Amino acid sequence: MRWTPGGSRSNLEDRRGAGGFGRAGLGIGGTVVLLVLSLVFGRDFIGGAEGGGAPVTAGGEAGPVQESAAEAQLVEFVNFVLNDAQTLWRTALPQAGGPAYTDTRLVLFRGGVQSGCGSAESAMGPFYCPLDEKVYIDLAFYDELRRRFAAPGDFAQAYVLTHEIGHHVQHVLGTDAEVRALQERRPAAANELSVRLELQADCYAGVWANSIRSRGDLQTGDVDEALAAASAVGDDRIQAQGAGRIRPESFTHGTAAQRAQWFKRGLESGNPQSCDTFAGGV
């Protein structure tokens, strides 16, 4: 993907100098469960305000950051994607009949972070917190995406970030609040509703990818990189890789095929209105 460094960092919070924290004995699985509960119920089930690390300034910075040249370049890249995606949504959302788009902020951290949804660890992967309207990512996740999930490339990285920004689009639209309310009323459908929410965020990532393609900035292999990343983080792939067996009833994000399918739908249409994963009800 062709891109330009040096854009405004007004929506970037760099907390990589704040240090991490640990939560011994909880484990990755337990932490993920608590994060989901925090997001669904709007309460901190993970750790309240117990997060450690250096104090963060009012501007969101957290002290000096030591980084390699490669990491500095990656920061420039994610900042470009953040700015570019939000520029798209400021226009695309009202054009699709939605409300005015309000920006999210991207928080960079290492190891662990205190979010509006509670304490979070890098092991959870990137996430969006609707309570403070921010996207969080430890850039080390991109190494895991390449090594563990065999999904390298800058467009794979962009897909991950624009998926999370897609969750902010849902928040602006009120979709996430509607889903949480429905999950409370129909707990048996909670997982299916979660899958539909995640697939819609994949489709929104595809809408952004369409805008890159329409400007002629896609390069050979970019779409394949994004599709590989979308497929790699499908519930079926992750379960097969981890536990060795697949349990469809526990899916919360969708299968590899579904995630790739909905990303492609957004890519091909470039229209947020094509991303109605809730059509037909549950």
φ, ψ for residue 272 (rounded to 5)? -60, -25
In a domain, 26, yes or no: yes
- Report the alpha-carbon angle 163-103-278, nearest 5: 45
Please report, as a single letter, which amino acid is at residue 186: R
Please state, in angstroms and rounded to a whole number, the distance separating the CA atoms of residues 3 and 189. Answer: 41
CA-based nearest residue to 207, from 274, 155, 258, 267: 267
Please state, in angstroms and rounded to a whole number, the distance separating the CA atoms of residues 140 and 2. Answer: 22
Number of domains in the chain: 1
pLDDT band for position 270 (cuts 50, 70, 90): very high
CA-based nearest residue to 88, from 161, 178, 153: 161
Sheet of 12-14, strand order: 12-14, 105-108, 134-137, 127-129
Letter string b/e over residues 176-198, b meaning 16 or more CB atoms within 10 A of that residue's CB: beebbebbeeeeeebbbbbbbbb
* CA 197 distance to own-chain centroid: 12
Please state, in angstroms and rounded to a whole number, the distance separating the CA atoms of residues 87 and 211. Answer: 11
In a domain, 68, yes or no: yes
- C-alpha radius of gyration, the chain, whole number: 18
Instruction: Kindly tell me if the per-residue pLDDT of 56 is higher than 90.
Output: no
Tokens read off for 167: 């969750």
Q: Which one of 33-47, 164-178, 236-250 scores highest in mean pLDDT?
A: 164-178
- pLDDT tens readout for residues 177-211: 999 999 999 999 999 999 999 999 999 999 999 99
Q: Are 17 and 62 in contact (CB under 8 A)?
A: yes
- pLDDT tens readout for residues 59-106: 445 567 899 999 999 999 999 999 999 999 999 999 999 999 999 999
- pLDDT tens readout for residues 159-181: 999 999 999 999 999 999 999 99
Contacts of 39 (CB under 8 A, 6+ apart): 117, 129, 130
What does the pLDDT average to over 205-230?
Answer: 97
Structure confidence at residue 194 (pLDDT): 97
Domain coverage including residue 104: 12-274
Instruction: Kindly tell me if the per-residue pLDDT of 50 is higher than 60.
Output: no
Tokens read off for 228: 């590989």
Instruction: Kindly tell me if the per-residue pLDDT of 44 is higher than 60.
Output: no
pLDDT band for position 243 (cuts 50, 70, 90): confident
